[in-house]
Amino acid sequence: MSTPLKIAITGVSGRMGRMLVETIDASEKAVVAAAVDRDGHAWIGRDLGLALGGAARDVFVTSDIDAAIADADAVIDFTAPAATIAFAAAAARAGVVHVIGTTGMTAEEIGQLAGPAEQTVIVRAGNMSLGVNLLVQLTKKVAASLDEDYDIEVIEAHHNQKVDAPSGTALMLGEAAAAGRGVSLEAVADRGRDGITGVRKRGDIGFVAVRGGDIIGEHDVMFAATGERITLRHVASDRSVFARGALKAALWAQDRPPGAYDMLDVLGLNAD
């Protein structure tokens, strides 16, 4: 690409927003062209560079998504479900690529992205890292190879500020395990245990969520049978892995036809 990709960042004051700015600044392939945050936030109207504690950069934080993306090539969005749906509609109006890393979206909310995806490219993933997407593929293959004698548990850990559980990544892994077994995750998911629950139901896929400290992201998929356990594991030690993946997705999406894509498409892993 001869000229850098112009990217708008939503939720720019948050952890991922700041990391995206840092990651894009380090890239020769893209620039931060616009910065968006919620209406009423203290950063609204401020120069982004000064708000971040650095030098002025002539990019001013706004709550007006339409104005922010008017001259952008892509918007990268790690916010909240309701905001993401609104941003998707704006991206569709502008014909701008929308990269979504927002987690905690319900099936109904994800369904609301179908309309915008008819007008522009949407790349959505519960996790943007290469390692996690490889783990998804491995989980599907192992689940397909082992019968229900092997109980499946998805165990995830995140920082104490995370508001959704199980994590989007844990659900991706659960979906992969269910697909490997040829079943619907909704039919076999066990997402909560408390009190006298009775014995574990054969064929269920269990979820355990840990919240504490500043854990960035740890995911294990355990296949447990009598006499042995197989555990697939991914640990994120730096949020930059998610930001780099999102930037890769924004670059990949240019000149693609409108539609809904995920990181397996971006990484060329969606063979089936």
The catalytic site residues sit at 158, 162
- Give per-residue burial for 11-48: e unless 16+ CB within 10 Å, then b: bbbbebbbbbbebbeebeebbbbbbbbeeebebbebbb
Q: Tell me: cis bond preceding 166? Omega within 30 of 0 counts.
A: yes
Report the distance separating Cα 192 and Cα 70, nearest Å.
44
How many Cα atoms within 13 Å fall on the side-chain side of residue 76? 33
Q: How far is CA 17 from CA 61, 100, 110, 199, in A?
A: 12, 12, 22, 43
Q: How far is CA 105 from CA 43, 121, 124, in A?
A: 26, 19, 11
Specify the DSSP element, H or E, that contains 30: strand 30-36
Maximum CA extent, the chain: 62
The three-state secondary structure class of 50 is: helix
The three-state secondary structure class of 220 is: strand
